[in-house]
Chains A and B, each alone.
Chain A
Amino acid sequence: MPAPAIELRGITKRYPGVVANRDVNLRVESGTAHAVIGENGAGKSTLMNILYGMVVPDEGEILVEGTPIPMSSPADAIAAGIGMVHQHFKLADNLTVLENVILGDEPTGRAGRIDFEAARARIVELGDHYRIPIDPEALVADLSVGNRQRGEIITVLYRGARVLILDEPTSVLVPQEVDELLKNLRRLTGEGLTVIFISHKLDEVLTVADEITVMRNARTVAHTRPAEITSRELAQLMVGSELPTPEPRTVEVRSEVGLRLESVSTRGSGHETSLSDIDLTVRSGEIVGIAGVEGNGQSELIETILGLTSPVAGRVLLGTEDVTEAATSIRRRLGLSYIPQDRHREALLLDATLWENRMLGHQMHPPINRGVWIDRKAARADTEQIVADSDVRTPSIEVLASALSGGNQQKLIVGREMAGEPRVLIAAHPTRGVDVGAQAAIWTRLSAVRRAGVAVLLISADLEELIGISDRILVILRGRFVGEFDPAAIGPEDLGAAMTGADAA
């Protein structure tokens, strides 16, 4: 029997207040697709970062094709033929795909000059071979999320990786892109490459993976194959208990308007699609879903509602108040809450404690705000409450936000934005990167705030989510709403078609 492509033995990694990996063992056979799944904070990213040399374990060893390799930096991993595509992409926006691919590993020709021709040819060749076509000259900033990810994969292949690690590759993609990616992964393993990927979406794990490793509480608790298990059993292995069942929907939309946009147009900034003549009404007690391929105006829509971009025409109303010209802080004070799409960039102060993060965006509300003062005691108490209610796994509220796992950061943000009686909630990809248990909990809470009379605008790439909890779904395409659907009467396929404009509804 050939040696496994990768073997991790007895890996232990401690962080302040938590053990992220505890005596973890993992065997990945050559030429297979291996899924690593588990709850938020189970230690998946940590394990992958260890394998890629970004994090050095306290104990344990890493074997590549049977040989122990000391792994102290990504350079060691690359030399050993291991490449990684991170959950948060690393490509530099203002460079082309070609420049990004060769960055840090420039092919030098005569007199130390960079041989762009050779690199370009190699990228095209790799793209043809694995059928992951990409334009080497495209500027990364102009690429869709799916294409950026292809760029990342090509970069990794270009460096000669035989083992690819992908940390939650599908959580940022729309369904068509997911299918495309999964096909590509199959093709890579067909060529003898080894793929290790993390995912919270169990059905896709069951369709692509050859083998599955389940992590719970920093350990590996099970090793299985798709043929031997169902997605429900997988979920129970991950959580270690029964899943909560989502509550049935009860629609009682009120007549009061929570949020209204009247003929809003925006200028558009850089590569962002601008909004043209958009009308939107979200009533209290209603969840309106926005479906669309990323980059069709969703960001502009959010920025306009938040007041970070001012429209060139039209009006924005919160309740009955015209806030078209109002600052973000005034809109916040009127009860506007926001779960951002990019948690690291927009929702967190990574170098501040959890309770300070709790104040962010709510520094103008009681109980935190008392005139010009802030009440730190109240903020701390409130944070304890949120951590308990939202099941944020953390040793204490004094740790820095950067120490939480991605999913736990998300749970904290969701808890924060739902606390303090918002009137309007913009939820952009609220369950991105959270495990199935937390996902169900977040859906339940969204339904609960809706029932309490909050107007919710849900922007999501997850069609099941949109169909599952929205009361109405609007499709956005090139800065306009091109269709309205009743979630009870539409399936993911039709919605997907409408999003790409294939169906002129």
Chain B
Amino acid sequence: METRIERVLLQLIAPVVAIFFAALLAAAILHFTGADAGSVLGEVVAFGTTPASLVAVVNKATTFYLAGIAGAIGFRMLLFNIGIDGQYRLAVFFAAVVGASVSLPPVLHVTLIIVVAMAVGAGWAALAGYIKVTRGVSEVISTIMLNAVATGIIAYLLAPGRLAERAAGSNNIRTTPIPPSGWFPGFEVAGKEVFGFTLVAAALGIGFWILLNRTRFGFELRASGLSLRAAAVSGVNSKRMIFVTMVMSGAMAGLVGIPQLLGSSHQYGLDFPAGFGFTGLAIAILGRNHPLGVAFGALLWAWLERSSQILDLLGVSREIVTIMQATIVLSVVVAYEVVRRVNVRRQQKLVGRSEHVGIENGATA
């Protein structure tokens, strides 16, 4: 009835339309604030496509991608893991502490740090999963609260004399730096270093896809997300599935800070980037919880953040990018629905045309 390529193309229309719409809106806002929209957008694109920018975008997108996949895992089962933010900060903090306190050969050292991060993220999310399946507490509420608790724990422990120290010659308070054996080597592109962890993130995305589509567990996860009751009747233990999904989402969230920690900071301090939780959820929605879609969303998001840096120089408020990001998420949701309807109408036309030959096995007996 339709080819695979057509189906993929139709899927692509929605985000393209959304981006176009958001760009149009941004241009309109620029215009009304008295700026020359054309030249501003031109400068933004020029800056955003320099090699240095592109490398920065890929690095940033790696972080976003992990957050997006963490969100997508939960969404697939209709779980809203609002706690990605707390899970990843706690995870990267403890990973930094443990990483700095041991000395191991390179590969082992990095592995240990990653395992610690995943375990802490998973454990923190498991708390929310546990009280959901035993007490019925919504994960939305519990993860929001756990975010606050995580902030408190880090604030307490990240102090000189506890698990942190004052950086020499600055106001920053940070954990002891991890020795080079615990660094994840990057690779050079155009004289800039791309995080080596980007490749790991990509592999995790592929793994997520295989898990969802090719394994029994993935099928049961998707089934539970579509109908918890029907899945239970089919033999899925719903409570266990909720718990496991939450733990997996948390383990993935635990990795969000790792590209930065292993690739450039090598320590956790007050200046460590935070607040990727909601970004992750937005990117998951943008990418329809599909590993490839999420990759696309992460790159777009990162590109917008990076290219917006030039706006200050041009005397334009940077918030316009935030507006654009919000517009994209909103319009992509609308656009997906529109495309779906167009698709239905198109198929109906196809049926109309094939009516006289009869539908195989269908209405014309």
Closest A residue to B218 by beta carbon equals A374
Q: Inter-chain contact count A-B, CB under 8 Å?
A: 117
Q: Is the CB of B361 within 8 A of A328?
A: no
Q: Is the CB of B351 within 8 A of A14?
A: yes
Instruction: Give Cα A58–Cα B347 distance, bound, in whole angstroms.
Output: 14
Interfacial chain A residues near B206, Cβ < 8 Å: none
Q: Is the CB of A361 within 8 A of B235?
A: yes
Q: Is the CB of B362 within 8 A of A338?
A: no
User: Does B5 have its Cβ within 8 Å of any Cβ on chain A?
Assistant: no
User: Does A213 have its Cβ within 8 Å of any Cβ on chain B?
Assistant: no
B317-365 residues with Cβ-Cβ distance < 8 A to A are 344, 347-348, 351-352, 355, 359-365
User: Does A348 have its Cβ within 8 Å of any Cβ on chain B?
Assistant: yes
Q: Is the CB of B230 within 8 A of A394?
A: no
If the complex has contacts A363-B219, A387-B361, A393-B363, are A17 and B214 also in contact, measured as CB distance less than 8 A? no
A276-327 residues with Cβ-Cβ distance < 8 A to B are 306, 308, 327
Closest A residue to B215 by beta carbon equals A372
What per-residue 1/0 map shows which CB atoms of B215-228 lie under 8 Å from chain A? 11101101100110
Q: Is the CB of B226 within 8 A of A16?
A: no
User: Does B229 have its Cβ within 8 Å of any Cβ on chain A?
Assistant: yes
User: Does B138 have its Cβ within 8 Å of any Cβ on chain A?
Assistant: no
Interfacial chain A residues near B361, Cβ < 8 Å: 387-388, 393-395
Interfacial chain A residues near B226, Cβ < 8 Å: 349-352
What per-residue 1/0 map shows which CB atoms of B83-108 lie under 8 Å from chain A? 00000000000000000000000000
User: Does B19 have its Cβ within 8 Å of any Cβ on chain A?
Assistant: no
Q: Is the CB of A345 within 8 A of B227?
A: yes
Interfacial chain A residues near B232, Cβ < 8 Å: 308, 328
User: Does B234 have its Cβ within 8 Å of any Cβ on chain A?
Assistant: yes
User: Does A444 have its Cβ within 8 Å of any Cβ on chain B?
Assistant: no
User: Does B154 have its Cβ within 8 Å of any Cβ on chain A?
Assistant: no
If the complex has contacts A338-B233, A340-B233, A345-B227, are A18 and B216 also in contact, measured as CB distance less than 8 A? no
Closest B residue to A303 by beta carbon equals B233
Interfacial chain B residues near A351, Cβ < 8 Å: 226
User: Does B1 have its Cβ within 8 Å of any Cβ on chain A?
Assistant: yes
What per-residue 1/0 map shows which CB atoms of B231-257 lie under 8 Å from chain A? 111111100000000000000000000
CB of B352 to closest CB in A, whole Å: 6
Q: Is the CB of A374 within 8 A of B216?
A: yes
User: Does A87 have its Cβ within 8 Å of any Cβ on chain B?
Assistant: no
Closest A residue to B235 by beta carbon equals A329
Interface size of B by CB at 8 A reads: 34
Interface size of A by CB at 8 A reads: 49
Interfacial chain A residues near B365, Cβ < 8 Å: 217, 240
User: Does A346 have its Cβ within 8 Å of any Cβ on chain B?
Assistant: yes
Interfacial chain B residues near A181, Cβ < 8 Å: none
Q: Is the CB of A348 within 8 A of B233?
A: no
What per-residue 1/0 map shows which CB atoms of A193-232 lie under 8 Å from chain B? 0000000000000000000000001100000000000000
Interfacial chain B residues near A14, Cβ < 8 Å: 348, 351-352
Q: Is the CB of B351 within 8 A of A373?
A: no
Contact of B235 among A15, A364, A388, A396 (CB under 8 A): A364
CB of A373 to closest CB in B, whole Å: 6
Closest B residue to A340 by beta carbon equals B233
Closest A residue to B226 by beta carbon equals A349
Q: Is the CB of A374 within 8 A of B362?
A: no
Instruction: Give Cα A474–Cα B227 distance, bound, in whole angstroms.
Output: 33
CB of B337 to closest CB in A, whole Å: 14
Instruction: Give Cα A333–Cα B216 distance, bound, in whole angstroms.
Output: 14
Contact of A17 among B1, B213, B216, B220 (CB under 8 A): B1
Q: Is the CB of B216 within 8 A of A306?
A: no
User: Does A19 have its Cβ within 8 Å of any Cβ on chain B?
Assistant: yes
Instruction: Give Cα A44–Cα B251 distance, bound, in whole angstroms.
Output: 50
Closest B residue to A370 by beta carbon equals B216
Contact of A347 among B230, B352, B359, B363 (CB under 8 A): B230
User: Does A249 have its Cβ within 8 Å of any Cβ on chain B?
Assistant: no
CB of A195 to closest CB in B, whole Å: 28
Q: Is the CB of A395 within 8 A of B235?
A: no
Q: Is the CB of A350 within 8 A of B352?
A: no
**Further pairs besides A14-B351, A16-B348, A16-B351: 12, Cβ < 8 Å:** A17-B347, A18-B351, A328-B233, A345-B229, A348-B230, A352-B222, A352-B226, A359-B219, A361-B233, A373-B215, A388-B361, A396-B1
Interface CB pairs A-B, < 8 A, 29: A14-B352, A15-B344, A18-B363, A19-B355, A19-B359, A41-B363, A308-B232, A327-B235, A328-B233, A329-B237, A331-B235, A332-B234, A332-B235, A345-B229, A345-B230, A346-B233, A347-B233, A349-B230, A350-B227, A351-B226, A352-B223, A356-B219, A364-B216, A372-B216, A374-B214, A374-B219, A395-B351, A395-B359, A395-B361
| Chain A interface residues toward B at CB < 8 A | 14-20, 22, 41, 58, 217-218, 240, 306, 308, 327-329, 331-333, 338, 340, 345-352, 356, 359-364, 369, 372-374, 376, 387-388, 393-396
The 5 closest A-B pairs by CB, nearest first: A329-B235, A16-B347, A361-B234, A14-B348, A349-B226
